């Protein structure tokens, strides 16, 4: 798979949507996602492979690669880059 343009493939960090007791936390859906950049297209100027980023969960396309959930976004959807 070769990513094109400003597309970015992210492995999201696990976010506990439920407490250990099974209570669903409604605030989680509005929080930003965090994750590690697995790969990015040649059009990305400020993001590189291995960066830890924060991005809007709502704008991500979800795909499964080998049974693991990944998110596709474009570089402009990242609002904070923690670096490597």
**What per-residue confidence (pLDDT) applies to 58?**
81
Give residue 33's pLDDT. Answer: 86
Residue 75 burial class via C-beta count within 10 angstroms: exposed 0-12, middle 13-18, buried 19 and up: buried
Q: Which portions of the chain are predicted below pLDDT 70?
A: 15-32
In this structure, what is the dihedral angle of CA atoms 67, 28, 51, 11, given to the nearest 10 degrees? Answer: 0
Model pTM above 0.85: no
What pLDDT does residue 2 have?
Answer: 86
Q: What is the pLDDT of residue 56?
A: 84
- Report the distance separating Cα 22 and Cα 29, nearest Å: 16
Residues 6+ apart with CB under 8 A from 8: 37, 39, 40, 41, 44, 47, 72, 73, 74, 75, 78
| Model pLDDT, residue 53 | 97
Q: Does domain 7-13+32-83 have CATH number 2.30.33.40?
A: yes
pLDDT at 24: 62
């Amino acid at each position: 798979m070769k990513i094109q343009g400003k597309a970015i493939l992210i492995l999201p960090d696990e976010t506990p949507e439920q407490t250990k007791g099974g209570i669903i936390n409604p605030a989680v859906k509005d929080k930003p996602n965090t994750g590690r950049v697995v790969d990015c297209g040649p059009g990305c100027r400020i993001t590189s492979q291995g960066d830890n980023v924060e991005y809007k969960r709502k704008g991500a396309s979800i795909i499964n690669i080998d049974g693991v959930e990944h998110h596709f976004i474009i570089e402009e959807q990242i609002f904070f880059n923690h670096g490597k």
